[in-house]
Amino acid sequence: MGSSPIIGTQSTKRKDLKMSEPTESMIEDWNAHNDHADGVEIDHLNEYRGSLLYLFPTLKYFEFEHLPLPLQEVSKPFHTIAWDAASKIDAMAGGDLHQANIGMQYLLQAKDAIVRSFVGSTDEVT
């Protein structure tokens, strides 16, 4: 089949793909639910992020640091929205995870379409 892969799907197969920095909202939610006088402990925050990835597997497709810089600028807002929403849903300890994951899939489709619309015209994105 000659169709091109979805950008987000292709990126997660890279072994060297690093997870981007936590969003400000994630840090705030972490601090609100954990009594750390000295702020966020990175090991615990990474564990928290791992638990969000377990609940919302689609989050891994919102990583953007492997993209060329102009496409990173297009993709980054979607990363922030996805991780902030996952963090808020987890913090509320409620909601329908099935519906939340469907929402994440729609957000991923939107991100992929927007990023693809800039592929080939990255010189114009600034």
Give the tens place of pLDDT for each residue, 48-71: 888 899 999 999 999 999 999 999
pLDDT averaged over every residue in the chain: 75
Q: pLDDT-derived band of residue 46, with 50, 70 and 90 as boundaries?
A: confident
Long-range contacts of 2-8 (CB under 8 A, 24+ apart): 6/61, 6/112, 7/67, 7/112, 7/115, 7/116, 7/119, 8/61, 8/62, 8/108, 8/111, 8/112
Reply yes or no on whether the pLDDT at 36 is more than 90: no
